[in-house]
């Protein structure tokens, strides 16, 4: 078993009922989305355990092999897609599965655990959420896509078909092209997943309008 991820945590201030595991993007860390929590205006915030893991430090090929926090290596970039280290995605997915299990061991049901991720983190959130053997609370996939979508034909779990998925992307994104995100959405929609799409006039980032839509999505789940 791989070493556990270290995490930034915001503990619930009341009864622990729900958990959110939020994965950062390439080169960031667990603090990246920590400050977003108050802006989400979640009615159940007091009952939510927020977990912001730090990705392992890896050498990233497209960044001149510099070492940084990364969920997997990126080998090359094309217009609509990236050539990525698929094995690295599976390794990070296993680390996230360990975090999910820790919450389940505390008595939190899988259907009350939400996965969220931005960019690389969104890849892992989608990858894990669509393969998890139980229905999860939801998946937030922000400015991202799914390089392992082909493998879903034999790896997807049946319960995940009913896990609600929120995909959002910036129209001006020059890091992960919106075409890659929209292609993932279209394919998952065709496969019958419960999924919604939002796009915004922004680059590879998060905007206020998007945070508002995330709030609606999460408040519809954590009631």
User: Per the confidence metrics, is the pTM higher than 0.75?
Assistant: yes
Give the phi and the psi of residue 128 in degrees, each rounded to 5: -70, -50
In tens, the pLDDT along 162-192 reads 999 999 999 999 999 999 999 999 999 999 9
3-state SS, 193-220, equals: CCEEEEEECCCCCCCHHHHHHHHHHHHH
Q: Is residue 204 annotated as part of the catalytic site, yes or no?
A: yes
Tokens found for residue 115: 């996965």
Mean of per-residue pLDDT scores for the chain: 95
In tens, the pLDDT along 17-53 reads 999 999 999 999 999 999 999 999 999 999 999 999 9
Residue ranges covered by each domain of the chain: 7-221
How confident is the model at residue 86, as a pLDDT? 93
Dihedral, 11, 44, 142, 192 alpha carbons, nearest 10: 130
- The 8-class DSSP code of residue 101 comes to H
Euclidean distance between CA atoms 140 and 36, whole angstroms: 14
Fold of the 7-221 domain: Rossmann fold (3.40.50)
Q: Is residue 119 annotated as part of the catalytic site, yes or no?
A: yes
In tens, the pLDDT along 79-127 reads 556 688 999 999 999 999 999 999 999 999 999 999 999 999 999 999 9
Give CA separation, 125 vs 83, 97, 99, in Å.
Answer: 18, 10, 12
- Active-site hit among 19, 119, 143, 160: 119
Q: Is residue 186 annotated as part of the catalytic site, yes or no?
A: no
- Active-site hit among 29, 204, 205, 215: 204
Q: For strand 82-84 and strand 113-118, is the pairing parallel, antiparallel, or unpaired?
A: unpaired
How confident is the model at residue 223, as a pLDDT? 87
């Amino acid at each position: 078993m791989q070493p556990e991820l270290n995490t930034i945590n915001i503990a619930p201030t009341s009864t622990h009922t729900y958990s959110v595991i939020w994965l950062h993007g390439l080169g960031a860390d667990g603090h990246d989305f920590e400050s977003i929590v108050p802006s989400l205006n979640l009615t159940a915030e007091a009952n939510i355990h927020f977990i912001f893991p730090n990705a392992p430090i890896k050498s990233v090929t497209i960044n001149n092999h510099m070492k940084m926090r990364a969920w997997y290596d990126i080998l090359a970039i094309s217009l609509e897609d990236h050539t990525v280290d698929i094995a690295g995605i599976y390794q990070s997915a296993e680390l996230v599965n360990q975090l999910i299990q820790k919450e389940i061991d505390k008595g939190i049901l899988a259907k009350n655990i939400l996965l969220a991720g931005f960019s690389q983190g969104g890849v892992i959130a989608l990858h894990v959420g669509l393969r998890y053997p139980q229905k999860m609370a939801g998946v937030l996939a922000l400015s991202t896509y799914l390089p392992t979508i082909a493998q879903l034909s034999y790896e997807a779990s049946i319960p995940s078909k009913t896990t609600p998925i929120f995909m959002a992307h910036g129209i001006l994104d020059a890091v992960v092209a919106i075409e890659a995100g929209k292609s993932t959405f279209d394919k998952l929609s065709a496969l019958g997943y419960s999924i919604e799409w939002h796009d915004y006039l922004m680059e590879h980032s998060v905007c206020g309008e998007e945070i508002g839509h995330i709030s609606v999505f999460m408040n519809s789940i954590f009631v």
